[in-house]
Copies of this chain bind each other. A is one copy, B any other.
């Protein structure tokens, strides 16, 4: 039986690629959804399409709303949301996605290094699995498929 998963969070390592490769290698019937992971494109999409803003707040606002069209739609049609937290940047959008998934009743799998356990305790506590590597996520997906 197939699953749809959404890969949220950290965009600076190739963890998404590893999960997609693992799905291919194991021939799993899983559809993978992702956000726009091109940082620059994502930051400027609002002014690129809808016109310039003098105030950075509105520049960010317009970009975030367009990205939310994709993000919220993908989270709500997923069976599982997988969210990786890295060791850099604030990544509030990743925690925000975890909250949206919880509010909508979509299960999450969280991925992060052990060093982030304490600040992520609320996010982890509502997850169905807390992993450290893409390989573990693939093992879970294999097991439940």
Q: Measuring CB to CB, which residues of chain A are less than 8 angstroms from any residue of chain B?
A: 1, 3, 31, 33, 36, 41, 45, 48-50, 53-58, 60-74, 79-80, 85, 89-105, 107, 109, 114, 117-126, 128-131, 136, 139-140, 143-144
State the copy count for this chain. Answer: 8
The residue in chain B whose Cβ has the minimal distance to the Cβ of A104 is B103
A49-B139, A53-B55, A57-B117 given; name 17 further pairs at CB < 8 Å: A3-B73, A50-B130, A60-B121, A65-B125, A66-B143, A67-B122, A68-B125, A69-B129, A94-B95, A95-B96, A95-B99, A97-B99, A98-B99, A99-B101, A102-B103, A103-B104, A105-B105
The residue in chain B whose Cβ has the minimal distance to the Cβ of A3 is B73
- Bound complex: CA A3 to CA B73 (Å): 9
Main SS at interface, chain A: helix
Known A50-B129, A96-B123, A99-B95: A144·B69 in contact at CB below 8 Å = yes
